[in-house]
């Protein structure tokens, strides 16, 4: 499964190619072309991956606290990965809400 960053890059590349149509396409901007999917599927996959990273961090911290052989460094790395992925998802959500509010505010 692709990382949330790759999923977001792919969706942005698809948006750019749909808007510009002037020689810019998803394959020219992306290093690894993947299957084309609707934005909702990409977003659902990204949220699922964020949830998976949070579960891994939780189990690492539980293992550390229970003394099941989990190293402090492993627990901290898992926690930071989960935190960074959540922050990225939150930033994408905020940008989407901001774009929606901008479009709603336009007068035609």
- The pLDDT tens digits of the residues spanning 48-83 come to 999 999 999 999 999 999 999 899 999 999 999 999
Q: How many C-beta neighbours within 10 Å does residue 37 have? A: 15
Q: Given this model, what pLDDT does residue 89 score?
A: 93
The domains of the chain are located at 4-105
Q: Which residue has the higher pLDDT, 7 or 103?
A: 103
Read off the pLDDT band of 9 (50, 70, 90): low
Q: What is the pTM of this model?
A: 0.61
- pLDDT tens digits for range 13-43: 555 454 444 444 444 444 555 567 788 888 8
d(CA 49, CA 86) in angstroms, rounded, equals 10
d(CA 44, CA 22) in angstroms, rounded, equals 29
d(CA 15, CA 2) in angstroms, rounded, equals 18
Q: Given this model, what pLDDT does residue 26 score?
A: 43
CA distances for 104 relative to 4, 17, 64, 69, 97, angstroms: 27, 23, 48, 53, 10
- Quote the tokens at residue 88: 């990225």
Q: Given this model, what pLDDT does residue 20 score?
A: 46
């Amino acid at each position: 499964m692709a990382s949330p960053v790759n999923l977001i890059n792919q969706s942005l590349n698809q948006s750019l190619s749909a808007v510009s149509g002037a020689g810019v396409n998803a394959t020219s901007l992306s290093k690894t072309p993947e299957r084309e999917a609707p934005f909702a599927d990409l977003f659902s996959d990204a949220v699922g991956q964020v949830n998976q990273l949070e579960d891994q961090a939780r189990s690492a911290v539980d293992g550390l606290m229970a003394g099941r052989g989990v190293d402090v460094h492993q627990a901290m790395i898992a926690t930071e990965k989960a935190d960074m992925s959540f922050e990225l998802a939150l930033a994408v959500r905020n940008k989407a809400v901001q774009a929606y509010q901008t479009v709603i505010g336009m007068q035609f």
